[in-house]
């Protein structure tokens, strides 16, 4: 039985594994745009959560007037992703960066930072404690029951500070495919996106 996830202390007290490193689990844009230095990465598998477009975005991939959607780890199922290994001496700085990115001051908290057990796919039997940003179900921006059709409609028109919502989806899907991971939910939404005018 997997141990339960835990809330974490402030960034100045990063959770280091017995090996002396901090591990960070990536399931969305962190896969293709981590934004921090790391000493290595591995394919990883997390039980108890799945990747889903379940959070409205009024900033990064949309606006209050025309929201977009971003991915969160939601309860149930399992998720394939990447886990990054961060040397202990850089862990506090990386954790501050991640909190600023995922839990920015003054913005509604759409994620909870957790420590979760992830299995390294390339090292059978090895499980490491990793930082993960889990969807905050109590947040008003939590979107619990969007159909693929509705999600595709929203993603097709969302644009925010970090660019088009469509690109966020397609970049994530492309990198998952490159890892040999098929995410049927994301693939279904991508297939429902309207074609871009002028595209071949």
- What Å distances lie between residue 146 and 29, 39, 53, 185, CA to CA? 20, 38, 8, 12
102 is catalytic: yes
Secondary structure (DSSP) of 74-85? EEEEEEEEEEEE
Asked whether the CA dihedral 174, 179, 185, 188 is positive or negative, the reply is positive
C-alpha distances in angstroms, 105 versus 56, 76, 188? 18, 29, 34
User: pLDDT grade, residue 145 (50/70/90)?
Assistant: confident
Q: Exactly one of 102, 108, 149, 174 is catalytic; which is it?
A: 102
Nearest to 169 by CA among 64, 66, 31: 31
8 A C-beta contact, residue 118 and residue 23:
yes
Q: 3-class SS at 91?
A: helix
* Average of per-residue pLDDT across 108-131: 93
Which of the given ranges, 1-5, 9-13, 108-112, 151-155, has the highest pLDDT on average? 151-155
Strands 6-7 and 21-26: unpaired
Tell the residue number behind the tokens 């996830």, with chain if given: 5
pLDDT tens digits along 15-70: 999 999 999 999 999 999 999 999 999 999 999 999 999 999 999 999 999 999 99
Q: What is the pLDDT of residues 65-98, one digit of tens each?
A: 999 999 999 999 999 999 999 999 999 999 999 9
| pTM, full prediction | 0.90
Residue 43: phi, psi to the nearest 5? -60, 140
Q: Identify the burial level of 194 via C-beta atoms within 10 angstroms of its C-beta, where 0-12 means exposed, 13-18 middle and 19 or more buried.
A: exposed
Task: Tell me the pLDDT band of 2, cut-offs 50, 70 and 90.
Answer: very low
Which are the contacts of 173, defined by CB distance < 8 A and separation ≥ 6?
A: 183, 186, 187, 190
């Amino acid at each position: 039985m997997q141990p339960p996830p835990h809330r974490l202390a402030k960034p100045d007290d990063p959770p280091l594994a017995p090996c002396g490193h901090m591990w960070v689990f990536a399931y969305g844009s962190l896969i293709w745009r981590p934004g921090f230095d790391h000493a290595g990465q591995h394919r990883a598998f997390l039980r108890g959560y799945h990747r889903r477009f379940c959070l409205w975005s009024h900033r990064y991939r949309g606006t209050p007037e025309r929201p977009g959607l971003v991915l969160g780890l939601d309860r149930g199922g399992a998720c394939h992703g990447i886990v990054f290994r961060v040397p202990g001496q850089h862990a506090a700085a990386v954790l501050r960066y991640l909190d600023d990115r995922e839990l920015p001051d003054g913005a509604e908290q759409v994620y909870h930072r957790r420590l979760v057990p992830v299995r390294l796919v390339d090292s059978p039997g090895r499980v490491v404690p990793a930082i993960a940003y889990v969807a905050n179900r109590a947040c008003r921006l939590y979107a619990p029951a969007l159909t693929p059709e509705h999600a595709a409609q929203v993603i097709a028109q969302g644009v925010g500070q970090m660019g088009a919502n469509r690109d966020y989806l397609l970049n994530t899907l492309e990198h998952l495919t490159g890892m040999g991971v098929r995410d049927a939910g994301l693939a279904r939404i991508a297939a429902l996106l309207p074609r871009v005018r002028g595209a071949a």
